[in-house]
Copies of this chain bind each other. A is one copy, B any other.
Amino acid sequence: MNTHFNDTEREALYRVIAARRDMRHFLPGRTVEPAVLRRLLQAAHQGPSVGLMQPWHFIRIADAALRRDIAGLVEAERHATAQALGERGTDFLRLKVEGVRECAELLVAVLAPDDGTVFGRRTLPQEMALCSLACAIENLWLASRAENLGMGWVSLFDPEALAGLLRLPQGARPMALLCLGPVDHFYDEPMLQAEGWRKVRPLEEFIHTDGWPQS
């Protein structure tokens, strides 16, 4: 693994990172080739994990009725979110926030039941397992983009209800609905910014030296 990366390869990675988007618009009626899906899952599985615990599971939704049930959960949460947002609820309902019904493939990313790993997570057990899962998903996301496929991370669901639909064991927690598939085009900027929902803030606000900025 002592690969040396050159400027061209490095530039390719930076371009993938810059072009990755949280996609909600997919071309309906499409598929993802099994070999491509396999590469994406392999990329996820090469993610880092604290203490090498690999606390991730990916459930592919093949059954159309199950996908409909999941879409129903998302729709219910969309309305619950609108209610919780108060004044902005109406604006929120106008946004397209998920592509669960149209995307070519729907995967559910699940945090595994705690396996008791102590290494690297004595003080932050739940957090470090979750971070490992998220890193795996980011790998899958970047790989999708490099395969010219869109991916969207949908977190609009009641985790208990989704766990029930998937018959998850005690302690396993669904963390993401991953919508995956061909898209007509990728957004030029984060969709929430393009739609005027919220602005991306500049990097400068997020880097500090030797401690939190003191007022």
Interface residues of A, Cβ cutoff 8 Å to B: 1-5, 8-10, 12-22, 39, 41-43, 45-48, 50-52, 54, 56-63, 66, 77, 80-81, 84-85, 92, 97, 110, 118-124, 127-128, 130-135, 137-139, 141-143, 145-148, 153-159, 165-169, 172, 175-176, 185-190, 192-193, 197-201, 203, 206-212, 214
Contact = CB atoms under 8 A, between A and B. Distances in A.
23 contacts: A1-B189, A2-B186, A3-B15, A9-B16, A17-B46, A22-B48, A48-B141, A50-B155, A52-B190, A52-B199, A57-B206, A59-B207, A81-B118, A81-B122, A120-B154, A120-B155, A123-B156, A123-B157, A130-B134, A131-B131, A134-B134, A134-B138, A166-B212
B148 A5 contact: yes
A167 B84 CA distance: 33
Contact of A169 (B145, B206, B212): B212
Contacts of A172: 212
Contacts of A143: 13-14, 17
Main secondary structure of the interface of A (DSSP, over half): mixed
Contacts of A47: 138
Contacts of A185: 2
Contacts of A153: 48, 50
Contacts of A81: 118-120, 122
A158 B124 CA distance: 9
A5 to B, nearest CB: 5
Contacts of A190: 52
